[in-house]
Structure 1
Amino acid sequence: MSEERVGFFTDTSVCIGCKACEVACKEWNALPEDGLSLTGMSYDNTQALGASTWRHVAFIEQPAPQGRTRLPLLDGESGTAGESAPGSDMRWLMSSDVCKHCTHAACLDVCPTGSLFRTEFGTVVVQEDICNGCGYCVPACPYGVIEQRPTDGRVFKCTMCYDRLGAGQEPACAKACPTDSIQFGPLDELRERAALRVDELHGAGVAGAHLYGHDPEDGVGGDGAFFLLLDRPEVYGLPPDPVVTTRDLPAMWKHAGGAALALLGGVAASFAMAGRRQR
């Protein structure tokens, strides 16, 4: 990588669920409309990440914890994200999900055409004109981010606005976020900022605040898009301990090679024995 690695830090404690990031992403990347149908279980009308939804704001309704939790915004004022309404025993958790741009990206490992590549900014991008629609990357992603578009079978996902990065601009979603829930910048700097934010929330009594995907020692080598969560990852539809799905490939090829050599040895021995019997 010739450039400093950049990424997203999404602070869900200040997300208000406005979906401005979804709209900005669709507008900038000219993504098609994808149904906007309600599930009957949520007010969320985009439901999940997909080939035509590269940013997805999840609406999570759950019983509120005991007591009223007031969350400080980034400027030190008290906020309402993740807080229960007066007289209500429910609370809303909002979170804008996106491709994680993993350090160890399984989608890159399995792509047979080179359609998926890592950019000079450390992000992972799909080249639409090279994708052959094989779909190998879909099950390889530990987060279930990548999806094939039904109309042509090719895969699509967040590019972190690669074209904007090349022009020195921040991604459209971060630019549109009114609360700075989505923050963009150098990844190391974002990690430091996120750690300070967690300490701030803990000091305000929000004991459940924690970071997800920030650790370079985790199963995917750390994410280029990581999150501050107020509950367990499973609540947000995220795997609790993601692991790069291709981590065992070298060992598997080694065992496969050993098995193939053993098979060839057995075949050779059989021919040798047959030759001796004929004599």
Structure 2
Amino acid sequence: MGFFTDTSVCIGCKACEVACKEWNAVPEDGLEFTGMSYDNTQGLGADTWRHVAFIEQSKPIGQNETGVDHGGAQGGAQDAGGMRWLMASDVCKHCTHAACLDVCPTGSLFRTEFGTVVVQEDICNGCGYCVPACPYGVIDQRKGDGRVWKCTLCYDRIGVGQEPACAKACPTDSIQYGPLDELRERAAQRVDQLHGLGVEDARLYGHDPDDGVGGDGAFFLLLDEPEVYGLPPDPVVTTRDLPSMWRHAGVAAATLLGGLAAVFAAHGRKGGAR
């Protein structure tokens, strides 16, 4: 199970942020003026499990060669001067190959029966190993607490057949929840539809099971390059080289031990000769 976030119909209302905080009792944040348009939280963190980004551009929405706007509601707002806002609700990607799981020493992070990745805060010891391991910079330690917190994809809700709070609250169905195979098929159809309307920049991100993290459990339809949204263009599981590193370390250790054994053996022979 997972999320498909269609940013082309996101209106930036932040209903997802509010619903996430209310249902999961996430502490308030983003109360300071940042000067970043309407983006008061600026990014995902321990106290922001859903983050609505506002990106202002001077690029028109989906115009064809005649200059007629075919974007409609797609891509957020556009003013008379040709400026547009790209609005996108970001969240933990629930990676298929999750590096955070690989490095957690306590088992606090675990894979659920729905394929999502959840933190058990009562087991987390605050070591922070998972923070740099995440290729998306999602996981964060809470100030004054030390433990890590992130989206659980409302594990308690989906366990009883309900959709996550953010998807439930989204008024435009920008956030869609369901089986990943169905969501991927629906997303591909949506991209084809937008291309037919002249929105050639529409593309999917995180949907490919053959990418560097095995596909994301939360993927997106974007209207520009991933970097514009603050997303890495080619994310990879950061622990992919761990097996070979351990093998090299094992070989090095065995060689070192063999060398020490040879030295002691030689020393013993010399001592016996005396």
TM-score by shorter chain over 0.5: yes
- Local SS of the residue matching 1:103: coil
Amino acid at match of 2:86: L
Which of the numbers 56, 77, 88 marks the counterpart of 1:61? 56
Q: Distance in 2 between matches of 1:270 and 1:226?
A: 57
Which residue is equivalent to 2:41?
46
Q: CA deviation at 1:84?
A: 2.7
Residue 149 of structure 2 corresponds to residue 184 of structure 1: no
Which of the numbers 91, 109, 133 marks the counterpart of 2:102? 109
Amino acid at match of 1:173: C
Query: What runs of 5+ residues in structure 2 fail to find an aligned partner?
Result: none
Which of the numbers 145, 150, 165 marks the counterpart of 1:152? 145
> TM-score, length-normalised on structure 1?
0.93
Residue 249 of structure 2 corresponds to residue 226 of structure 1: no
Which residue is equivalent to 1:169?
162
Amino acid at match of 2:70: R
- Local SS of the residue matching 1:79: coil
Query: What runs of 5+ residues in structure 1 fail to find an aligned partner?
Result: 1-5, 72-77
- Residues 243, 80 of structure 1: alpha-carbon distance in 2 compared, 3 angstrom cutoff: closer
Which residue is equivalent to 1:3?
none
Amino acid at match of 1:20: A
After superposition, the C-alpha distances for 1:115-149 in whole angstroms (9 at most, x for unaligned) are 00011111100001000000000000000000000
| Correspondences of 1:12-161 after superposition (within 5 Å) | 12-65=7-60, 67=67, 69-71=69-71, 78-82=72-76, 84-86=78-80, 88-161=81-154
> TM-score, length-normalised on structure 2?
0.95
Amino acid at match of 1:91: R
Q: CA deviation at 1:80?
A: 5.0
Q: CA deviation at 1:43?
A: 1.9
Number of aligned residues: 267
Q: Distance in 2 between matches of 1:59 and 1:222?
A: 25
Q: Distance in 2 between matches of 1:244 and 1:263?
A: 31
My pick for the range that moved more, 248-257 or 42-51, is: 42-51
Amino acid at match of 1:18: C
- Local SS of the residue matching 2:43: coil
After superposition, the C-alpha distances for 1:205-244 in whole angstroms (9 at most, x for unaligned) are 1111000000000000000000000000000000000000
8 A contact 2:102–2:239 mirrored in 1: yes
Which residue is equivalent to 2:236?
243
Q: Distance in 2 between matches of 1:47 and 1:69?
A: 30
Q: CA deviation at 1:83?
A: 5.1
Q: CA deviation at 1:151?
A: 1.3
Q: Distance in 2 between matches of 1:27 and 1:41?
A: 24
Q: CA deviation at 1:70?
A: 3.0
Which residue is equivalent to 1:74?
none
